[in-house]
């Protein structure tokens, strides 16, 4: 046993964290109390333990007083455990001889109205940490070789940017995209704010770069189905659905689609147009090849037709393609699965789905696309004629506690952009934007807002309460209060656009489960730290890019993608990662070879091995993730989790009780 009580020299360091801790907890009292605990050689308090002076204080004590255990009472170990381990290491002490007492997140910040109670609790927490410190053992980290490749999930602008950055850095990238083409949501938009350039013009070259990059393997029609391993060495499984068209042979001539007899609603146009069962999502698709939708193809569903096969001169149709599951090994993973537009059907007061001329912002966006359902013209769905009077309703499904409380960040700007497009298309049109607050926070955004005001777009501050359709004229009558005038009003419009926000993509939950990365309350993927690690998922080696994390516009998505790529390349460029000594030690003398642990291990990391005349459990340290379930179940106490041994935990229990 390591608890050599006789020569224990523990240093306790109580942090003020500026005022964060010291305003509530009497840090001096805690330090005085600590200094009297058995084995404690020195106890100090200081303003910021994590700063240079604070760390220096600890290293000096280690060197001069010969400390062999360190307890830091400060913020959550999730914030600075690594910092202080490094301090220990530099001072020549094994970094695992450190224990953190969390007296900020779990004490001063949550007991602000009870300073006495908080101080008592802080003392208790330090006492428990000191108790555990007595039983800490020096541990060695293992270094593991990294697989120098990365997986990027999602082929929208964020995924594209991340993949290109990583590949340009020289790493092999697997880019997995669910649909038959790259492009994602940005590929659906026509012009982008505030520059009003055409989205395709700036996106397509990037898509082509991906397809031509020697370091990127593009897997379309594919999705992640399984993942295991950890930072530096993930093993993932990707299911690739057949395209039924040979990408290399297809010339994208389109004759197949002309002849295909099956017409289905086109999801790219949100059902405003139709497509064939063999189709391309856009004329700019990458890969530039048709794809057969197995759900609707007559041959695949009912065994008849095969017209496309007959008319294809390039002989590209291949009904023999089968679904395959690819197994890949990667060192890091970037999740860029994007978002879905909010479905406004549940807001019954707006009549979306009931009134033809109530549409969503993304639907309008498709109309403004020259390749879209109306050839680029904004038209009333009910009449096919240009609208004379258009209303935009902001914050539909966003900033609404009934649905999503968060601000979707893009709707103000896209509504302003679309209002300008409508004004350009028809000088005489009357455009109003009903808003609660206009949020024009980005570079050039306020200027853009000003431009639309100058163009005569009316900004009316008030949330529209309901829409009804005049049964005779089919005009839409909006009820609202102009809150700046303080008057309740009714006005009719011939087109109403609901500025819907972004919601987590439908498969976000599935992805979060596969990768074991949690989601925030809003359903988006959660970052490791909201301020300091916005690119990282909570699991090491997994990074977030784009709207999968939170609603973003294009510049933010691209910036975050580059950030994620930079983060993801750190382990790849290091080539080695340190693995924490989390796995259990098996005391072979004690192990009875009962095998209970083997059945419990979720990773198959344990097996029985013959040792002399008996069998004992053996841990595969690469597979083991250190949960400790086996340790908890071991009837003979043979398994010990190095950083959470029974002695450590029991000593904490006893220390906390007294």
- By CB under 8 A, what part of segment 228-287 binds another protein? none
Nearer residue to another protein within complex by CB, 135 or 171: 135
Residues from 530 through 589 that contact another protein (CB under 8 A): 530, 538-539, 582
Query: Which residues within the stretch 59-78 sit at the binding site for another protein (CB under 8 A)?
Result: 76-78
Among 82, 325, 450, 632, interactor with another protein by CB under 8 A = 632
Minimum CB distance to another protein, residue 2 (Å): 19
DSSP 223-257: EEEEEEEETTEEEEEEEE---SB-TTT-----HHH
Write b or e for each residue in 231-246: b if 16 or more Cβ atoms lie within 10 A of its Cβ, otherwise e.
bbbbebebbbbbbbbe
Asked if 590 touches another protein (CB under 8 A), the answer is no
Which of residues 516 and 595 has its CB atom nearest to another protein in the complex? 516
Residue nearer to another protein on the CB measure, 638 or 652: 652
Give the closest residue to 66 by CA, choosing from 29, 39, 47.
39
Nearer to another protein, 87 or 102 (CB): 102
Query: What is the sign, positive or negative, of the torsion defined by CA atoms of 585, 587, 590, 593?
Result: positive
> Is the Cβ of residue 306 or residue 354 nearer to another protein in the bound state?
354
Instruction: Give yes or no for residue 225 binding another protein (CB under 8 A).
Output: no
Shortest separation between residue 646's beta carbon and another protein, angstroms = 7
Q: Does 125 bind another protein (CB under 8 A)?
A: yes
Please check whether residue 98 is in contact with residue 72, taking contact to mean a CB–CB distance below 8 angstroms. yes
Kindly tell me which residue out of 215, 237, 533, 625 binds another protein, with binding defined by CB under 8 A.
625
Contact 187, 199 (CB under 8 A): yes
Coil, strand or helix at 373: coil
Q: Burial-class residue 363 by CB neighbours within 10 Å (0-12, 13-18, 19+).
A: buried
**CB burial readout 528-563, b (16+ within 10 A) else e:** beeeeebbbbbbebbbbbbbbbbbbbbbbbbebbbb
By the rule CB under 8 A, 593 interacts with another protein: no
Asked whether position 436 contacts another protein by CB under 8 A, the answer is yes
Min CB(648)–another protein separation in Å = 9
Is residue 230 within 8 A of residue 272, CB to CB? The reply is: no
Residue 482 vs 556, nearer CB to another protein: 482
128 makes contact with another protein (CB under 8 A): yes
Q: Is 501 in the site for another protein (CB under 8 A)?
A: no
CA dihedral defined by 211, 212, 216, 217, rounded to 10 degrees?
A: 60
646 binds another protein (CB under 8 A): yes
Q: How far is the CB of 363 from another protein (least distance, A)?
A: 22
Window of 33-41, 110-118, 211-219, 361-369 that interacts with another protein by CB under 8 A:
110-118
Instruction: Closer to another protein by CB, 130 or 262: give it.
Output: 130
492 part of the interface to another protein, by CB under 8 A: no
Q: Based on the shown chain and the rule CB under 8 A, indicate whether residue 349 belongs to the binding site for another protein.
A: yes
Tracing tokens 């839409």 back to the chain, one arrives at 476
Residue placing its CB nearer to another protein in the complex, 322 or 402 = 402
29 forms part of the interface with another protein (CB under 8 A) = no
Question: Is residue 117 a contact residue for another protein (CB under 8 A)?
Answer: yes
179 and 282 Cβ atoms separated by less than 8 Å: no
Taking CB under 8 A as the criterion, which residues in 368-387 touch another protein?
none
Q: Of 29, 105, 247, 607, which lies in the binding site for another protein, with binding defined by CB under 8 A?
A: 105
Span near another protein by CB under 8 A; candidates 328-336, 393-401, 547-555, 607-615: 393-401
* Residues pairing with 238 in the sheet: 224, 326
How far from chain centre, in Å, is Cα 242?
28
Burial of 492 (0-12, 13-18, 19+ CB in 10 A): middle
Cβ nearer to another protein, comparing 235 with 632: 632
Residue 100 CB, nearest approach to another protein (Å): 9
Size of the chain in residues: 658
480 binds another protein (CB under 8 A): yes
Candidate segments 8-16, 48-56, 359-367, 600-608, binder of another protein by CB under 8 A: 600-608
Q: To the nearest whole angstrom, how small is the minimum distance from the Cβ of residue 257 to another protein?
A: 40
Per-residue tokens: 468: 């009804």
Nearer to another protein, 24 or 97 (CB): 24
> Of residues 2, 53, 225, 653, which one binds another protein by CB under 8 A?
653
Residue 121 lies near another protein (rule: CB under 8 A): yes
Listed in order, strand segments (DSSP E) in 146-292 are 149-153, 172-176, 191-192, 197-198, 216-219, 222-230, 233-240, 263-265, 274-276, 278-279, 291-292
Which of 211/629 has CB closer to another protein? Answer: 629
**Closest CA relative to residue 598, chosen from 584, 613, 611:** 584
Give the three-class secondary structure for 484: coil
**DSSP letter, residue 20:** T
């Amino acid at each position: 046993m390591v608890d050599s009580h006789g020569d224990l020299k523990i240093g306790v360091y109580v942090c003020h964290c500026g005022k964060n801790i010291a305003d509530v907890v009497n840090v001096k009292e805690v330090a005085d109390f600590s200094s009297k605990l058995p084995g404690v050689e020195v106890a100090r308090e200081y303003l910021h333990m994590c700063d240079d002076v604070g760390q220096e204080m600890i290293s000096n004590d280690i060197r001069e007083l010969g400390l062999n255990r360190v307890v830091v009472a400060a913020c959550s170990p999730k914030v600075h455990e690594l910092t202080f381990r490094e301090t220990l290491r530099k001072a020549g002490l094994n970094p695992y001889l450190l224990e953190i007492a969390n007296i900020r997140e779990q004490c001063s910040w949550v007991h602000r109205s009870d300073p006495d109670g908080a101080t008592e609790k802080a003392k208790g927490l330090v006492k428990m940490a000191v108790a555990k410190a007595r039983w800490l053992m020096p541990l060695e980290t293992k270094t593991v070789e990294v697989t120098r490749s990365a997986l990027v999930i999602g082929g929208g602008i964020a995924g594209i940017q991340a993949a290109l950055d990583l590949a340009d850095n020289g790493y092999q990238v697997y880019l997995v995209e669910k649909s038959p083409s790259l492009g994602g949501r940005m590929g659906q938009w026509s012009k982008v704010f505030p520059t009003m350039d055409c989205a395709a013009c700036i996106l397509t070259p990037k898509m082509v770069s991906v397809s031509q990059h020697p370091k990127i393997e593009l897997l379309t029609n594919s999705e992640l189905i399984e993942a295991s391993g950890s930072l530096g060495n993930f093993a993932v499984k990707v299911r690739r659905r057949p395209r039924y068209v040979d990408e290399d042979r297809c010339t994208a001539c389109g004759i197949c689609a002309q002849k295909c007899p099956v017409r289905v609603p086109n999801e790219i146009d949100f059902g405003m147009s139709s497509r064939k069962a063999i189709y391309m999502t856009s004329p700019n698709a990458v890969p530039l090849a048709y794809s057969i939708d197995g759900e609707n193809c007559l041959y695949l569903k009912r065994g008849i037709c095969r017209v496309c096969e007959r008319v294809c001169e390039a002989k590209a149709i291949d009904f023999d393609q089968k679904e395959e599951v690819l197994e890949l090994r990667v060192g890091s993973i970037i999740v860029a699965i994007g978002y879905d537009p909010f479905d406004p059907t549940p807001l019954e007061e707006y009549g979306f789905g009931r009134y033809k001329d109530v549409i969503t912002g993304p639907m309008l966006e498709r109309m403004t696309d020259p390749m879209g359902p109306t050839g680029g013209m904004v038209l009333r769905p009910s009449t096919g004629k240009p609208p004379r009077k258009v209303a935009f309703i902001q914050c539909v499904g966003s900033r609404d506690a009934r649905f999503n409380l968060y601000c979707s960040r893009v709707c103000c700007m896209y509504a302003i952009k679309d209002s300008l497009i409508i004004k350009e298309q028809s000088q005489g049109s009357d455009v109003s934007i009903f808003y609660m607050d206009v949020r024009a926070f980005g570079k050039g955004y306020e200027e853009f807002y000003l431009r639309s005001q100058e163009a005569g777009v009316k900004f009316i501050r008030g949330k529209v309460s309901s829409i009804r359709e005049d049964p005779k004229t089919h005009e839409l009558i909006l009820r609202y209060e102009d809150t700046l005038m303080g008057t309740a009003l009714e006005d009719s419009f011939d087109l109403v656009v609901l500025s819907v926000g972004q919601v987590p993509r439908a498969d976000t939950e599935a992805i979060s489960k596969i990768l074991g990365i949690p989601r925030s309350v809003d359903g988006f993927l959660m970052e490791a730290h909201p301020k300091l690690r916005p690119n990282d998922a909570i699991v090491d080696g997994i990074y977030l890019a784009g709207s999968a994390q939170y609603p973003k516009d294009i510049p933010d998505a691209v910036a975050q993608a580059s950030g994620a790529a930079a983060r993801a390349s750190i382990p790849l460029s290091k080539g080695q990662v340190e693995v924490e000594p989390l796995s259990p030690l098996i005391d072979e003398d004690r192990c009875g070879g009962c095998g209970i642990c083997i059945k419990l291990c979720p990773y198959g990391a344990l097996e029985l091995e013959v040792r002399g005349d008996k069998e004992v459990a053996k841990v595969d340290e690469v597979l083991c993730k250190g949960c400790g379930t086996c340790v908890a179940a071991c009837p003979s106490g043979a398994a010990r989790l190095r950083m959470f041994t029974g002695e450590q935990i029991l000593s904490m229990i006893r220390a906390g009780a007294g």
